[in-house]
């Protein structure tokens, strides 16, 4: 388990570092990071499946200021790793990822608190014009938090993977059936949270159209997505033409007013 623990530690370190030092290339998103974990642990297919499911679940989760509802990166990494290492299905990964992501928020808040304590030291270095001290503190702040996540990733897999595997093996069949049902409901909950922020009575008809295409015409998701793209492009073109017509009308009206004023 040492090799797997080192792999997850490196993944945690790089994923968290990407947010602060790499311009946020979206490596932290469940779809991406779970696929990376699956690839490194030898089961890319399972990693992609788990990542896609978790992406839907956390689709409506948004960080506002310093308020982080759940640490989706940590939940996705641990959920995917535990599922692959224990040989269990997607339902176990989803069931583990959600509570882990909520608990991991405390790690995030603790790191922010510690970084906040460095502000006084930064001010002292600025007043003393100590540029080397500022650089050292900046580097410590940048790499210190990812290092904490890396250590947590290593310890979580090295000491916890066997315990999780034993737990999964001891789960009764009726409880596993419940987890399977819950894993199917969680993506729907994620979509509902996202839809709640986007809902508008004007677009309700498109939601009904999607339901009809799936429920009664049995179209695949890719086909429905392409239909959505066509509708979006058509709507954008119509809206652009409408705005151009309004601008031309306003320009003509302004020219007529200027003519009569003269």
Q: For the chain, 262 residues long, give each residue's pLDDT as a single digit of tens.
A: 788 889 999 999 999 888 777 877 888 888 899 999 999 998 899 899 888 888 887 776 666 555 666 788 888 898 889 888 887 777 777 777 877 887 888 888 888 788 878 888 888 888 888 888 888 888 888 888 889 889 888 888 888 767 666 766 666 777 667 766 666 666 666 667 667 766 777 777 888 888 888 888 888 888 888 998 998 898 888 888 887 776 666 665 665 555 445 5
Matching residue, tokens 């034993």: 166
pLDDT of residue 60: 61
Phi, psi at 34, each rounded to 5°: -65, -35
11: which DSSP letter? H
pLDDT at 40: 92
Phi, psi of 67 (to 5 degrees): -85, 115
State whether residue 22 is helix, strand or coil: coil
Quick one: which of 105, 89, 113 has its CA closest to 152?
Answer: 105
Joined together, the tokens standing for residue 102 give 């909520």
Tell me what pLDDT residue 13 has. Answer: 92
Q: Three-state SS for 28?
A: coil
DSSP code, position 202: G
Nearest to 5 by CA among 206, 151, 143: 151
User: What is the pLDDT at residue 10?
Assistant: 93
Place of tokens 């690839």: 39
The two structure tokens encoding residue 219:
């179209």
The radius of gyration of the chain from alpha carbons, rounded to an integer in Å, stands at 25
Looking up tokens 């692959």 gives 84
Residue 39 has what pLDDT? 93
Say if residues 84 and 47 touch (Cβ distance below 8 Å): yes
The 8-class DSSP code of residue 203 comes to G
What pLDDT score does 35 carry?
92
- All residues at 6 or more sequence positions from 59 whose CB lies less than 8 Å from its CB, including other chains: 190, 191, 193, 194
| Backbone phi and psi for residue 64, each to the nearest 5 degrees, phi listed first | -110, 110
pLDDT at 258: 53
Q: Classify the C-alpha dihedral 210-214-218-223 as positive or negative.
A: positive
pLDDT at residue 184, rounded to an integer = 64
How many CB atoms within 10 Å of residue 107?
15
As a 3-state breakdown, the chain gives helix, strand, coil percent values, each rounded to 5, of 85, 0, 15
Q: How far apart are CA 199 and CA 126, in angstroms?
A: 48
């Amino acid at each position: 388990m040492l090799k797997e623990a080192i792999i997850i530690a490196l993944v945690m370190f790089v994923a968290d570092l990407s947010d602060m030092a790499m311009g946020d290339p979206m490596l932290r998103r469940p779809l991406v990071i779970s696929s990376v974990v699956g690839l490194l642990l030898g089961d890319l297919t399972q990693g992609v499946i788990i990542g896609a499911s978790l992406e839907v679940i956390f689709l409506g989760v948004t960080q506002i200021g310093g308020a982080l509802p759940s640490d989706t990166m940590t939940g996705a990494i641990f959920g995917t790793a535990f599922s692959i290492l224990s040989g269990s299905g997607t339902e176990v990964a989803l069931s583990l990822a959600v509570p882990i992501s909520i608990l991991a928020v405390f790690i995030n808040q603790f790191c922010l608190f510690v970084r906040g304590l460095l502000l006084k030291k930064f001010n002292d270095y600025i007043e003393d014009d100590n540029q080397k001290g500022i650089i050292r503190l900046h580097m410590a702040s940048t790499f210190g938090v990812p290092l904490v996540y890396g250590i947590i990733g290593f310890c979580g897999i090295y000491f916890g993977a066997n315990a999780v595997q034993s737990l999964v093996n001891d789960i009764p069949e009726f409880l596993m059936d419940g987890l399977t049902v819950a894993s199917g409901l969680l993506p729907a909950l994620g979509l509902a949270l996202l839809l709640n922020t986007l809902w508008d009575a004007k677009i309700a008809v498109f939601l009904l159209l999607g339901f009809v295409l799936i429920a009664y015409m049995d179209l695949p998701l890719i086909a429905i997505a392409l239909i959505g793209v066509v509708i979006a492009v058509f709507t954008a073109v119509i809206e652009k033409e409408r705005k151009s017509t309004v601008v031309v009308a306003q320009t003509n009206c302004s020219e007529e007013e200027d003519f009569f004023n003269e």
